[in-house]
Each structure stands twice: as C-alpha cells, then as structure tokens.
Amino acid sequence: MKPTPSFNRSLWVFHLNSGSCNGCEIEIVATLMPRYDPERFGIKLVGSPKHADVILVTGPVTKKMADRVKRTYEQVPDPKVVMCIGTCGESGGVFYDSYSLAGPIDDVIPVDVYVSGCPPRPEAIIHGVVKALAKLERLEAAP
C-alpha cells in the first residue's frame, strides 16, 4: 500500500518483545531518552499496535510467543514497517540451536529493516529508523 506524504513525518513505534534477553529493550528505551531525544522527529513509543506505524521486534521468537507476534503484526494498520532489533532476531544469535525457538523473526513475519548488534547501540537503532524512512520514501515515489 502506498503511504501518504504525511505518514513519514511522524512515525509512531510499538515495541514487541518476542522472548528477548532485555538488552535490546533497555537500549530501545535508552534511545527514547533525553540524550538522543527522537521525539523531536515525531518518533514516539505507543501502547497499542493499533496506533503504530512501526513495530520494533526484539528477541529470537520463542514458540510460546510466535502466535502472539503474528497477531500483533496483523493488528498494525497498513502501511507498516517492521524493524528487527538485535542479532538474535536475525539469526537466533547465541540461541541459534535452542529447541524453544520458532524464529528468526523473518520466519514468522516479514521484516523491512534489520538492526544488528547484541544489543545494537542507540545510534544504530536511530540509523535503522532513518533506513525505514528511506524505504517509505521509495514506496511513496513508486508509480
């Protein structure tokens, strides 16, 4: 779905923990704090997936959470961007051989932007949001 021009002016973010170790959670919250202050660009954390434009998914997706991750993804209205934060969401990371994983995340829901790191630094997360904006602009420019 083609986004409207006003869409990418203020991205609202929903954070979804799919069984992460908390490292990425803490760095996401640290990103939203006064030192980096992404709210000046209109980026803020919202409480419901139904209000969100972007979902930040952390963690390797445990079997218990797989269905909930899918259901949360479906509740986010289109157009939407999925950002995978952290190495374990990309590949499983140190948990690669666990019996309890349904992921990596892109096995469960489609991912647009990957932010690597265990956990990624706040600067890397902001860089990921910039990439997401660039992707939205490309979608907007498409005929």
Residues that bind another protein (CB under 8 A): 16-27, 29-30, 33-35, 46-48, 59-60, 62-65, 68, 72, 88, 93-95, 97-101, 118-119, 121
Identify which of residues 86 and 129 has a Cβ nearer to another protein in the complex.
86
Identify which of residues 4 and 48 has a Cβ nearer to another protein in the complex.
48
In Å, how far from its chain's centre is CA 133? 13
Cα Rg of the chain, angstroms: 14
Nearest in space to 84 (alpha carbons), one of 54, 53, 115: 115
Question: Measured from the CB of residue 115, what is the shortest distance to another protein in angstroms?
Answer: 14
Question: Measured from the CB of residue 79, what is the shortest distance to another protein in angstroms?
Answer: 22
Q: Report the phi/psi class of residue 5: left, alpha or beta, with left for phi > 0 and alpha for psi in -120 to 50.
A: alpha
Identify which of residues 28 and 133 has a Cβ nearer to another protein in the complex.
28
Phi, psi (5° rounding) for residue 80? -140, 160
Identify which of residues 98 and 140 has a Cβ nearer to another protein in the complex.
98
5, 45, 99 from 124: Cα distances, Å: 25, 17, 30
Question: Measured from the CB of residue 100, what is the shortest distance to another protein in angstroms?
Answer: 4
Question: Measured from the CB of residue 140, what is the shortest distance to another protein in angstroms?
Answer: 29
